[in-house]
Amino acid sequence: MYNPSINKLSNIGESRYTLVMLTAKRSRELMEGAEPLIETELIKPVSIAIEEIVAKKVSYREPDSNMNK
């Protein structure tokens, strides 16, 4: 199991919710057959996704706030 430090994880998103959503989305992509973006010995999709996020291979952008208007 991959256990990154809380310091590495706290710098990734604006909130824990952002980190959870990013991890879940990437994990789903991996389960559907996407190739990992890093070389790893991990086999669990969630662990791979977290490692990719910490390595800054996966990122996100906030939706435009004007889209809801």
The model's pLDDT over 55-68, given as tens digits with 9 standing for 90+, comes to 989 888 777 776 66
Residue at 65 is within a domain = no
Residue 17: the pLDDT is 86
Give the span between the Cα atoms of 60 and 69, in whole angstroms: 22
* pLDDT digit string, tens, across residues 16-30: 888 889 999 999 999
- Is residue 69's pLDDT more than 70? no
Lowest mean pLDDT among 1-10, 16-25, 28-37: 1-10
Residue 67: the pLDDT is 61
- Is residue 50's pLDDT more than 70? yes
Q: Give the total number of structural domains in the chain.
A: 1
Residue 33 is part of which domain span?
6-59
Residue at 69 is within a domain = no
Give the span between the Cα atoms of 23 and 52, in whole angstroms: 9
